[in-house]
């Protein structure tokens, strides 16, 4: 009756959301303190106080028609200028307001860039496992071919040898997501340099640039000494898709941007195509009040102590028990090798026997692994440790 | 290099936006008081005070993580329940929270419904002239065929005889926009009944429903005794796309909903397809703070006196001078027959000789007409009257 792709996506239950819903039901039955819910990546630290102050200040000082009125599709000039200044300072690359396009979060930004790059029905976009599962429908339902690079299950960097073999004349872009969901790993500067050199070489070989689409919602969520490179500094044909969902804990407010730096080949044309692609997805402007909030909070940093404490506690305790995990330098995920090797069996057992909710790695393109979102209370982690112990004991 | 459709839409200048930009430039040169800018449909009355009060109340009483956190893709349950209750009361049809899907404004809502209905590459969507120009890219760039019913230039109702001839086995939907942009006309109950009966008959003939997509941003902007019918009461296969942009003067905040009432054939499947279509356009959820604002302001009504005063003044004075206009019962547009018949020549002359900015009807599918957006100050209208007089004098 209806568009089959849209219908199937509408009825397809997201495994993560299903697990989260199960956790809520169990909590109602046996008490929230007895359910260890690591299912969902919803920030558990509040937005900085500066956000609330900014909203109040805007209401008190700006005309209502301006606060809530349309902005240009690319966003309010002064907001983009403030973000550009912040980026320029931090990454020693001149970014201008005109390089930025404000979006309703990272998802529509990514889709606009993907759509802009899909020049014909044979166009291919490369994704690196493990990956955020929505990339697949974002590419396929918008007319592109989804090409998957298998995971480097050692270090969770990028298997460049495998990727190089997958590149052909139809390759238009590669999605890079670092810090990574679900692995929590940050790609090293070396990995990104090698990636950039390879893409440069292949681009020359095929006579057109192969763009990196850098999906960066977790850019500011990084711990210890880990460093998140600004990829345009390493590979010039990089378009950045950013979101304030995680960095300012504003996931529901739908605010982010696309950055097409001047160094990008055919950057002006790509920016125009991104703007046109946004328009046919229903973009009119990013929410105006939130744009103004970002202008006032552009230099705010998230208070990561809670996440970092969780990260250390969970990583240390689980590895002590004998679990193997990727080194989680960023985001708020721990990617755990399933004892016994069968992540589906393990997660079902953990769910039904221990009320321990871990997401299976299969939809992330990485079977045999489990994702734990540690944006939870530290107390919940402590309470959950005996359940983790009981689970691994069964596999010893 | 890039997706050609997206690129062309990205570089295609919108005539309305261009005219608006020209007005700003002229204002800087010769003084704002000497430019009569009727180009753009940006609400000129502020949001009701209840909106500001609601924001402050939410900040003071709701936990920050909840205010700014993700909501379900369909929206916050209590918000949808409040809207459903309001609709049920006003339109004597039971609407439930589960019939509603919160969107980032009307544009992504319309696109989601259009995409959901486009079952294959031959699918056609009918649009009635004069029409909001974005309907064309919304349909075509998402893979559908745009089929135009010529304007009924007498009353600006619907030429049903012409429409019936355009319906065939590939017709999946008809976009209805009443109160209408750009004519300001409200379709009568009789027009809608006749339309419904015809669509019902043709649907039976072709063995599938032909849905009405009712685009209703101007639903509450109606003057005098005019009545805006709730179309699902007249034709059951109607999906409503609503926005708070005009009714609460919140166009920048991107908040609205899709309503698929229970009376719609295959309504559950259509709702699922709409949800899937939203997902591949980058919808995650509607802005959460604004969703909560809507819950608190659902019974607010816009203070239309300013628009109504403008409407009466402009309509009365222009018809007195000899202009012919459609009877503007709703929205904030007056659709004027161009003296001399050539709207392009008239609007260029008005622009360069009189600094009087009127939008040409051609992109609305109605050549020979001019759109005046009267969401401006009453004083500007008064100042502009001599310019209108001087223009019509040239054609006498």
CATH of the domain at B338: 3.90.1150.10
pLDDT of residue B176: 98
Does the pLDDT of residue B178 top 90, yes or no?
yes
What pLDDT, in 10s, does the model give residues A241-258? 999 999 999 999 999 999
Examine residue A179 and say whether the peptide bond preceding it is cis (omega within 30 degrees of 0).
yes
Same-domain check for residues A239 and A387: no
Q: Which DSSP symbol is given to A277?
A: H
pLDDT of residue A143: 95
Q: Given A271, A297, A323, which residue is the final one in a domain?
A: A297
Q: Which residues pair with B102 in a beta bridge?
A: B257
Does the pLDDT of residue B13 top 80, yes or no?
no
By the 8 A CB rule, do B258 and B103 touch?
A: yes
Same-domain check for residues A14 and A123: no
Extract the tokens encoding A123.
Answer: 């166009």
Which domain CATH number covers A120? 3.40.640.10
What pLDDT, in 10s, does the model give residues B95-120? 999 999 999 999 999 999 999 999 99
Q: Give me the mean pLDDT over the A333-361 stretch.
A: 97
Report residue A302's pLDDT band, with 50, 70 and 90 as the boundaries.
confident
Same-domain check for residues A38 and A70: no
Report residue A39's pLDDT band, with 50, 70 and 90 as the boundaries.
very high
Does the pLDDT of residue B128 top 80, yes or no?
yes
Same-domain check for residues B170 and B142: yes
Same-domain check for residues A38 and A53: no
Does the pLDDT of residue A8 top 80, yes or no?
yes
Helix (H, G, I), strand (E, B) or coil at A385: helix
How many CB pairs lie under 8 A apart between chains A and B? 253
Q: Given A276, A297, A318, which residue is the final one in a domain?
A: A297
Same-domain check for residues B237 and B281: yes
pLDDT of residue A173: 98
In chain B, residues with a C-beta closer than 8 Å to the C-beta of A56 are 56, 59
> Edge-to-edge, what's the strand order for the sheet holding A124-128?
A100-103, A256-259, A238-243, A211-215, A171-176, A124-128, A145-149
User: How close does chain B come to A214, measured CA to CA in Å?
Assistant: 16
Helix (H) or strand (E) holding A213: strand A211-215
CB-CB neighbours of A375 under 10 Å: 20
Helix (H, G, I), strand (E, B) or coil at A216: coil
Extract the tokens encoding B321.
Answer: 């001078």
Helix (H) or strand (E) holding A212: strand A211-215
Helix (H, G, I), strand (E, B) or coil at A265: coil
Same-domain check for residues B193 and B311: no
Q: Give me the mean pLDDT over the B309-335 stretch.
A: 96
Extract the tokens encoding B16.
Answer: 């309305």
What distance in Å separates the CA atoms of residue A351 and residue A353, rounded to the nearest whole number? Answer: 6
Same-domain check for residues B112 and B199: yes
Does the pLDDT of residue B9 top 80, yes or no?
yes
| CA distances (Å), origin B190, targets B157, B165, B351 | 10, 20, 39
pLDDT of residue B18: 86
What pLDDT, in 10s, does the model give residues A367-386? 999 999 999 999 999 999 99
What distance in Å separates the CA atoms of residue B286 and residue A173, rounded to the nearest whole number? Answer: 29
Extract the tokens encoding B181.
Answer: 């942009």
Q: Which DSSP symbol is given to A222?
A: B
In this complex, is the C-beta atom of B138 within 8 Å of any C-beta atom belonging to chain A?
yes
| CA distances (Å), origin B386, targets B27, B382, B383 | 18, 8, 7
Domain span at residue A378 reads 4-47+303-393
Does the pLDDT of residue A13 top 90, yes or no?
no
Helix (H) or strand (E) holding A15: helix A15-30
Residues 6+ apart with CB under 8 A from A179: A185, A186, A218, A219, A221, A222, A228, A329, A330, A331
User: Positive or negative, the Cα torsion across A243, A244, A245, A247?
Assistant: positive
pLDDT of residue B307: 96
Chain A, 11 to 40: residues with Cβ < 8 Å from chain B are: 11-12
Residue whose C-alpha is closest to residue A158's, from A193, A111, A205 = A193
By the 8 A CB rule, do B359 and B332 touch?
A: no
By the 8 A CB rule, do A286 and A295 touch?
A: no
Number of domains in chain A: 2
Q: Give me the residue from A56, A253, A285 closest to B68, CB to CB.
A: A253
Same-domain check for residues A133 and A151: yes
Helix (H) or strand (E) holding A288: helix A288-297
Is A2's CB within 8 Å of B59's CB?
Answer: no
By the 8 A CB rule, do B253 and A288 touch?
A: yes
Entry pTM? 0.96
Same-domain check for residues B346 and B384: yes
Backbone angles phi, psi at B104, to 5 degrees: -85, 60
> Which residue in chain A has the smallest CA separation from B276?
A10
Does the pLDDT of residue A41 top 90, yes or no?
no
Is A137's CB within 8 Å of B279's CB?
Answer: yes
Q: Give me the mean pLDDT over the B230-238 stretch.
A: 98
Chain A, 71 to 90: residues with Cβ < 8 Å from chain B are: 71
What percentage of chain B reaches a pLDDT higher than 70?
100
Mean pLDDT (chain B) is 96
Residues 6+ apart with CB under 8 A from A254: A104, A105, A286, A287, A290, B104, B254, B284, B285, B286, B287
What pLDDT, in 10s, does the model give residues B361-392? 999 999 999 999 999 999 999 999 999 999 99
| CA distances (Å), origin A22, targets A48, A269, A363 | 31, 47, 18
Same-domain check for residues B239 and B193: yes
pLDDT of residue B99: 98
Q: Given A297, A332, A356, which residue is the final one in a domain?
A: A297
What distance in Å separates the CA atoms of residue A171 and residue A187, rounded to the nearest whole number? Answer: 22
Same-domain check for residues B233 and B322: no
Q: Give me the mean pLDDT over the B142-165 stretch.
A: 97
> Which residue in chain A has the smallest CA separation from B278?
A6
Mean pLDDT (chain A) is 96
pLDDT of residue B327: 84
User: How close does chain B come to A90, measured CA to CA in Å?
Assistant: 27
What pLDDT, in 10s, does the model give residues A67-102? 999 999 999 999 999 999 999 999 999 999 999 999
């Amino acid at each position: 009756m209806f568009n089959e792709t849209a219908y199937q996506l509408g009825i397809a239950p997201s495994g993560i959301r299903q697990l989260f819903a199960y956790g809520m039901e169990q909590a109602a039955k046996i008490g929230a303190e007895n359910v260890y819910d690591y299912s969902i990546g919803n920030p558990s630290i509040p937005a900085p106080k500066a956000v609330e102050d900014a909203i109040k200040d805007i209401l008190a000082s700006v005309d209502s028609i301006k606060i809530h009125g349309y902005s240009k599709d690319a966003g309010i000039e002064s907001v983009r200028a403030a973000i550009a200044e912040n980026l320029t300072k931090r990454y020693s690359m001149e970014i201008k307001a005109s390089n930025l396009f404000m979006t309703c979060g990272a998802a529509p930004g990514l889709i606009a860039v993907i759509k802009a790059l899909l020049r014909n029905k044979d166009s291919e976009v490369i994704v690196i496992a493990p990956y955020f599962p929505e990339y697949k429908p974002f590419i396929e339902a918008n007319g592109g071919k989804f090409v998957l690079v298998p995971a480097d299950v050692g270090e969770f960097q990028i298997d460049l040898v495998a990727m190089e073999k997958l590149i052909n004349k139809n390759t238009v872009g590669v999605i890079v997501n670092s810090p990574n969901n679900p692995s929590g790993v940050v790609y090293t500067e070396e990995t990104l340099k090698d990636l950039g050199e390879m893409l440069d070489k292949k681009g020359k070989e095929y006579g057109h640039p192969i763009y990196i689409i850098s999906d960066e919602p977790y850019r500011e969520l990084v711990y210890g000494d880990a460093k998140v490179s600004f990829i345009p500094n390493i590979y010039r044909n990089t378009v950045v898709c950013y979101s304030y969902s995680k960095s300012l804990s504003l996931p529901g407010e739908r605010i982010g941007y696309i950055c097409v730096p001047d160094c990008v080949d055919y950057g002006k044309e790509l920016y125009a195509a991104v703007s046109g692609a946004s328009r046919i997805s229903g973009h009119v402007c990013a929410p105006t009040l939130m744009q103004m909030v970002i202008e006032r909070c552009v230099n705010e940093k998230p208070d990561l102590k809670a996440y970092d404490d969780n990260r250390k506690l969970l990583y240390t305790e689980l590895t002590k028990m004998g679990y193997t995990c990727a080194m989680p330098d960023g985001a708020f995920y721990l990617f755990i090798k399933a004892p016994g090797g069968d992540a589906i069996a393990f997660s079902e057992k953990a769910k039904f026997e221990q009320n321990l909710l871990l997401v299976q790695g299969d939809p992330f393109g990485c079977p045999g692994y489990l994702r734990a979102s540690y944006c939870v209370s530290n107390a919940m982690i402590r309470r959950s440790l005996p359940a983790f112990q009981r689970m691994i004991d069964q596999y010893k």
